[in-house]
Structure 1
Amino acid sequence: MTLNRLTLALAAVFAAQPVFAAEPFVVKDIRVEGIQRTEAGTVFSYLPVKVGDTMTDEKTEAAIKALYATGFFKDVRLEARDGVLIVSVAERPSIAKITLNGIKEFSQDDLKKGLKETGLAEGRVLDRSLLDKAEQELRRQYFNRGKYAVQITSTLTPLERNRVAVQFDVVEGKSAKIRQINVVGNHAFKEKQLLKEFKSTTPGWLTWYTKTDQYSKSRLAGDIEALRSFYLNRGYLEFNVDSTQVEISPDKQDIYITVNVTEGPQYKVSDVKLAGQTLVPEAELKKLITIKQGEVFARDRLTETTKKIGDRLGNDGYAFANVNAVPDLDKEKHTVAFTLFVDPGRRVYVQRVNVTGNTKTRDEVVRREVRQMEGAYYDADKINLSRDRLNRLGYFNEVNIETPAVEGTTDQVDVNINVTEKSTGSVMLGAGFSSSEGLVLSGSISQSNVFGTGNRLSAQINSGSVNKVYALSYTNPYYTIDGISLGYDVYRRDVDATALNSVSPYKTSTYGAGVRFGLPVSERDFLSLGLTYEQTSITLTSASPWPYQNFCGNAVGCDNDTVRLDTGWSRDTRDSYLFPTKGLLQRVAAEIGTPAGSLQYYKLTFQHQQYFPLSKRFTLMLNGEVGYGEGYGNNTNLPFYKNFYAGGSSSVRGFRNGTLGPKDINGDALGGNERIVGNAELFFPLPGVKDEQSLRMSAFFDAGATFGPFDVNGQYGTFAIGDLRYSAGLAILWVSPLGPLKFSLAEPLAKKSGDKTEMFQFTLGTVF
């Protein structure tokens, strides 16, 4: 071996050491040996030596380091032979296959995706350091699930063509359970009360599903912060978490958590002052201060105060207003005074309103709901109102609005609106079970955003044995640029009550056509006005009750026509169309049969529905509805087929649809001219389910009935508290990929003889 060859061979072995060549030489040619998968051009691209270069010890060292750094080779040698530089390499094996055995806790596809992110994937070059890293990543994933006894073994099996199979054998073991959580140092509150703030729990009857009895470092960090907030919201300004110990049993099955705290004294508020550049009259800002002198300090109320002041300044264009609360503690008297320093910053203008995410909905449909104008001062209230209006459209699963500063300016922002569209066309089915009717179905097809224009088109087709409905409806919500809506309705409705065992027998066949207008009075208030012509044929039977026969003047039937005037007012301040958490919905409506037709009557209805956010996860809904109707002119009573009904999934769950009210001699429902319904419903996420945007649960209490003059038992003649029916139960609403599904399981309360119950009710739909 020549001296040059020996020197280069040593350099390959001690690549990190300086290389000493006997003498430099000019490279006449470069030859690569030992490659199988790697292209020669790849080697040349990494090699810092070209033909014509003078080979020195520094370049030799740099060449070997560069080729090792590619990760493609496990051995690199350089030799010089008559001016030819020979690069001899031994390639690392490629990964032909990755096998995961014993995996039950995770999806294999998800784990392989995670391994790929660490650099370990089929087709890539094997790097043992990455193999160790992959093992650690798998172990970490199991630790996050509380499986601390997991055993992971990796095996490499050589294959032909310099390939290798990687196999991970996993023995998952059982999840470690939190057996005990102790809080040490608490005196003001009992440990049981403090542990209610923790999401981490010891094993319980539902923890097999929620997994909250499995230790998670991130969850415990959240629990510690929740504990801190608990104390700070009750005046313990000097509260401190001294330490947290997490101990695991020798068999790695049980975990014990100890939290050591120092409570400190409870502080009261001695004074609250405003300072800085308020810009807004101080008296107006003082009304926004929710933390009062003499009260026990509460951090959440202080945070609420600073946010309200910041939002108020934001309404005047000060988007970057900063309100800092500086405390002054008197440790002897255990009081604290706060000075709220207000720094409004610069007044900010909106440069651009940008809309993204709307692949089907036209830009103009989104922009016409936006109340923040380009070129105007930034207004936080108008931006929030824009978000609410977009949510109430029902076209989007999610609406996000961001206001980033415009680069290179100090007084301009953009308003970026990003929406996530959802399917707005649906085929809806309604279903209910009862012993007498079996399964009753109804259906409709609708598209609330036709071709992305925001116009609504719906067709209802019901071919059931009781109700046959064929209806077509079209609405343009922006018939004028000011937001006046225009709608048309054409329908035929046949009702065959003789097919029901629960409603007095009669048949009607109604044709109708109408036009309606909607007028926005304000951002939250809406007036409606409609005119409809109806023609109705009524068919009676010998079993029809006398009020029906009395209406027609015979036992056969009659025909009549109606020129109906519909008018109403509504106010909607809800923050979401599908899953509201706050706000109210009020409606007042009147349906009047005018003297232009043969029927003169009126029906008045009022609804008040309000949502109260009890916490981030719980929302209380209270709903009340009343209705009253009478005839006038030639009609002394409300036409019987215009009666109100109660009972069923839309009023009092647990009772059969329409059966709560006056009854005939056979016990069948007649309906009534008075109606009252009340609902209280507590909404909350389904335990263990993270997606709160499409699935939630509720516990409800319903009450209601209808009243009228024709009940044979005298039970529902006029309104009486004792005649109301009640029910309670649970419901689930799921906006599934197939459409909205609502299930309710109700237990009728205060049930009386003759009541017809229906414990399970649901509606379902599919989306197209």
Structure 2
Amino acid sequence: MVFFFSSTNTPSNERVDLDISLLKNFYLNHGYYDVQIPSGSIEIVNNNSANLVFVINAGQLYKFNEVVVLNESPSLNDSDLKFIKKIVSSLNGNDYRLIDLSNLRNKITDYLYKNNIDSEVQYSLRKETPNNIDVSFEIKEILNKQFVGNIVVSGNDITEESVIRNNLFFAEGDVVSNLNIEKSKDKLKSLGFFKNVSIFKEDLKNSQNSNLTVKVEENATGEISAGAGVSNSDASISFSLREKNFLGKGIDTNANVTFGTERVIGSLGFSNPDFNETGNTLNNRIFVTSTYYDNAAYKSKSIGDNLSLSYEIFQNISLETGLGISFDSIDTDTSASNLIKSRDGSYLTNKVFYNVNNDQRDRKFQTKNGYTFGFGQSLAYFGSDIPYLSNNISGSFYNEFSQEFIGTIKYRVKSINSINSKDIMLSDRIFLSNSELRGFKHRSVGPMVDNEYIGGNYSYSTNFSTSFPNGLPDKWNTNSSLFLDVANVWGVDFDGPEDSSKIRSSIGIGVSWVSPVGPISFTLAEAISKDSKDEVETFSFQLGGTF
């Protein structure tokens, strides 16, 4: 039982206490409101093994019955109250889960903060009828408000204070909010600049102000690495140089080059999250690529530059706008079909693009709940040899079912179409990535010409997955997941290719391990539905390392 709840195989009194806590949370999140675990013990069997014994009184299975909102805040109007009641109504009839109550309270608190309503929310439970629990969410105005006095930043020997302040969700004069303090800690951790982040509150005597101290412990942010990787379809060596906090200003700079059996890639880029002290992010990336896949009868080369500016238009909603230019060449093989040979040549592409992203995850680092949604378009026109319009929609959902089970749904829809009589360039056509459709060989799904896969004009993919405990020690740094992939790529803008609208799907298990020689990932997948010409790949792995 202990392996199911914690990630260690070495029993100790401390681990037993932890497992009691995890067990209780497991039952509380599966309908058992009255669960009691009075004891846990270790029974030594021999020098190599021991039995762990827990006494569990689960009690009855409960469901949520009546869920009400009690409003004692004059700041809450009818529309606010209606919205909150709609949120909490999702509990009606569901099995009792402690995590659902916590998530709803955080969601209401977030709503109150976003709408400048100085109120707090608590909930109370009542067992009025057998096997049923009534819930009351009480919203009260904050009478003794505390305001942020001084903000003190310490421990930042390299990082400029402005970088830290720009990632806080509070400023001097704001009402002190525990939610914003936690969000600030999460945001600072997600930067990767700091080992530890702590925020302390000091209430001042005879004052409504509280001073907040942000204490950080800095990480080394410079990386220089060389690596080697191998997978079922490719072998490569790579070199990279990166500084995530250039000059302590939070600027991410990087240079990378990869030499592989199927592709050579080089890039030089930077990302400035506070361009010209505006809080907007300036991104630039210069790239050079050369690809030659075994199942493609042509080589492609590309050199170009993408420049973009992203900024927040609403809370958690960002807009990125940019320009791009690239020079491409397609060199077809003598064995290629006549249709493929007709695409031989050099091409210039000038494009403008935008992307909108709505990020409503509970945290950027180790997400447990929430969702993302984004869409964007690229228009290649002025001076482009092949003008086109491309579209993309993507998103994800996260839900923590229990302590170590986090469910995820990710989806993506893409399209690209010429806006004149010319056909889309071969290197711009759409293929499904290894992460979108597992269990199938890369670039071996979709439209074909003379047994050559050429990619499509449209694609969609949906990935369902859940993490689960694997019983291995924490120090092994392993993660396990079960997944179901559903995807397809189709559509051509010229006559002749074989096309299929058949939905492809697969089911499987994935394991990733940060080993002493670098990250290793394994995937075991079985195709559920496929086209007769698709190439499957039941087992795949990737191995990489740095030194």
Classify the TM-score, shorter chain: 0.7 to 0.9
SS of 2:202's equivalent in the other structure is coil
Matched, 1:532 2:319: no
Q: 1:412 aligns with which of 200, 209, 216?
A: 209
Contact (CA 8 Å) 2:17, 2:40: kept in 1 or not? no
SS of 2:276's equivalent in the other structure is coil
Q: 2:9 aligns with which of 210, 232, 238?
A: 210
State the match for 1:439 in structure 2. Answer: 235
Letter in 2 for 1:696: N
State the match for 2:428 in structure 1. Answer: 642
Contact (CA 8 Å) 2:242, 2:254: kept in 1 or not? yes
Ranges in structure 1 where 5+ consecutive residues have no aligned partner: 1-198, 552-556
Question: Which digits, 9 at most, give the CA deviation of each residue in 1:73-97, with x for residues without a partner?
Answer: xxxxxxxxxxxxxxxxxxxxxxxxx
Deviation at 1:222, TM superposition (A): 3.4
Question: Which digits, 9 at most, give the CA deviation of each residue in 1:662-703, with x for residues without a partner?
Answer: 2332x33222222222211212454243479x6532222223
Deviation at 1:348, TM superposition (A): 0.7
Cα RMSD after superposing both structures:
4.7
Ranges in structure 2 where 5+ consecutive residues have no aligned partner: none
Q: Per the alignment, do residues 445 and 739 of structure 1 end up closer, same or farther by CA in structure 2, a change over 3 Å counting?
A: farther
Q: 2:247 aligns with which of 451, 458, 474?
A: 451
Q: 2:441 aligns with which of 647, 656, 659?
A: 656
Q: For 1:464 and 1:262, how far apart are their aligned partners in 2?
A: 56
Q: For 1:639 and 1:339, how far apart are their aligned partners in 2?
A: 58
Deviation at 1:372, TM superposition (A): 0.5
Deviation at 1:423, TM superposition (A): 4.8
Question: Which digits, 9 at most, give the CA deviation of each residue in 1:582-602, with x for residues without a partner?
Answer: 232323232322132322122
Q: 1:673 aligns with which of 457, 480, 489?
A: 457
Q: Per the alignment, do residues 711 and 515 of structure 1 end up closer, same or farther by CA in structure 2, a change over 3 Å counting?
A: closer
**1:559-578 correspondence runs (5 A):** 559-577=346-364
State the match for 2:287 in structure 1. Answer: 491
**1:241-640 correspondence runs (5 A):** 259=55, 274=70, 278-281=73-76, 284=80, 287=84, 290=88, 300=98, 323=122, 325=124, 344-396=142-194, 399-402=197-200, 404-409=201-206, 411-426=208-223, 427=225, 429=227, 431-434=229-232, 439-441=235-237, 444-495=240-291, 497=292, 500-503=293-296, 505-551=297-343, 557-577=344-364, 579-633=366-420, 635-640=421-426
Q: For 1:479 and 1:334, how far apart are their aligned partners in 2?
A: 55
Q: For 1:271 and 1:513, how far apart are their aligned partners in 2?
A: 55
Considering fraction of residues, name the structure with more strand: 2
Matched, 1:701 2:496: no
Contact (CA 8 Å) 2:24, 2:36: kept in 1 or not? no
Question: Which digits, 9 at most, give the CA deviation of each residue in 1:723-750, with x for residues without a partner?
Answer: x333333333456798765443434443
Q: Per the alignment, do residues 642 and 311 of structure 1 end up closer, same or farther by CA in structure 2, a change over 3 Å counting?
A: closer
Q: For 2:507 and 2:129, how far apart are their aligned partners in 1?
A: 52
Deviation at 1:409, TM superposition (A): 4.2
Contact (CA 8 Å) 1:513, 1:533: kept in 2 or not? yes
Q: For 2:158 and 2:408, how far apart are their aligned partners in 1?
A: 33
Letter in 2 for 1:456: D
Question: Which digits, 9 at most, give the CA deviation of each residue in 1:134-157, with x for residues without a partner?
Answer: xxxxxxxxxxxxxxxxxxxxxxxx
Deviation at 1:367, TM superposition (A): 1.0
Q: For 2:234 and 2:66, how far apart are their aligned partners in 1?
A: 68
State the match for 2:523 in structure 1. Answer: 744
Q: Per the alignment, do residues 507 and 337 of structure 1 end up closer, same or farther by CA in structure 2, a change over 3 Å counting?
A: closer
SS of 1:364's equivalent in the other structure is helix
Question: Which digits, 9 at most, give the CA deviation of each residue in 1:393-448, with x for residues without a partner?
Answer: 3444554444x2324245222333344544544447573433xx663445544333
SS of 2:375's equivalent in the other structure is strand
Q: Per the alignment, do residues 405 and 245 of structure 1 end up closer, same or farther by CA in structure 2, a change over 3 Å counting?
A: closer
Q: For 1:267 and 1:608, how far apart are their aligned partners in 2?
A: 31
Q: For 1:207 and 1:738, how far apart are their aligned partners in 2?
A: 26
Q: For 2:91 and 2:328, how far apart are their aligned partners in 1?
A: 68
Contact (CA 8 Å) 1:456, 1:475: kept in 2 or not? yes
Identical counterparts, % of pairs: 18
Q: For 2:386 and 2:95, how far apart are their aligned partners in 1?
A: 65
Higher relative CO (Cα under 8 Å, sequence separation at least 6) belongs to 2
Q: Per the alignment, do residues 324 and 508 of structure 1 end up closer, same or farther by CA in structure 2, a change over 3 Å counting?
A: closer
Q: For 2:130 and 2:378, how far apart are their aligned partners in 1?
A: 69
Q: For 1:598 and 1:249, how far apart are their aligned partners in 2?
A: 75
Q: For 2:188 and 2:289, how far apart are their aligned partners in 1?
A: 34
Deviation at 1:349, TM superposition (A): 0.4
Deviation at 1:518, TM superposition (A): 2.1
Letter in 1 for 2:446: G
Q: For 1:559 and 1:710, how far apart are their aligned partners in 2?
A: 20
Contact (CA 8 Å) 2:386, 2:422: kept in 1 or not? no
Deviation at 1:565, TM superposition (A): 2.1
Q: Per the alignment, do residues 330 and 513 of structure 1 end up closer, same or farther by CA in structure 2, a change over 3 Å counting?
A: closer
Range with bigger deviation, 303-312 or 330-339: 330-339
Question: Which digits, 9 at most, give the CA deviation of each residue in 1:318-357, with x for residues without a partner?
Answer: 79x6858496x87999998979595845111011223344
State the match for 1:762 in structure 2. Answer: 542
Question: Which digits, 9 at most, give the CA deviation of each residue in 1:602-631, with x for residues without a partner?
Answer: 222221222222223221111111211122
Give the length in aligned residue pairs: 539
Bigger radius of gyration: 1
Question: Which digits, 9 at most, give the CA deviation of each residue in 1:273-318, with x for residues without a partner?
Answer: 848x645438656836948999799583666777777777778697
Contact (CA 8 Å) 2:229, 2:544: kept in 1 or not? yes
Letter in 2 for 1:755: E
Range with bigger deviation, 740-749 or 529-538: 740-749
TM-score of the two chains, using structure 2 as the length reference: 0.79
Letter in 1 for 2:161: D
Contact (CA 8 Å) 2:518, 2:543: kept in 1 or not? no
Q: For 2:360 and 2:94, how far apart are their aligned partners in 1?
A: 33
SS of 2:449's equivalent in the other structure is coil
Contact (CA 8 Å) 1:662, 1:711: kept in 2 or not? no
Q: Per the alignment, do residues 348 and 737 of structure 1 end up closer, same or farther by CA in structure 2, a change over 3 Å counting?
A: farther
Q: Per the alignment, do residues 663 and 367 of structure 1 end up closer, same or farther by CA in structure 2, a change over 3 Å counting?
A: same
Q: For 2:358 and 2:135, how far apart are their aligned partners in 1?
A: 42
Question: Which digits, 9 at most, give the CA deviation of each residue in 1:91-116, with x for residues without a partner?
Answer: xxxxxxxxxxxxxxxxxxxxxxxxxx
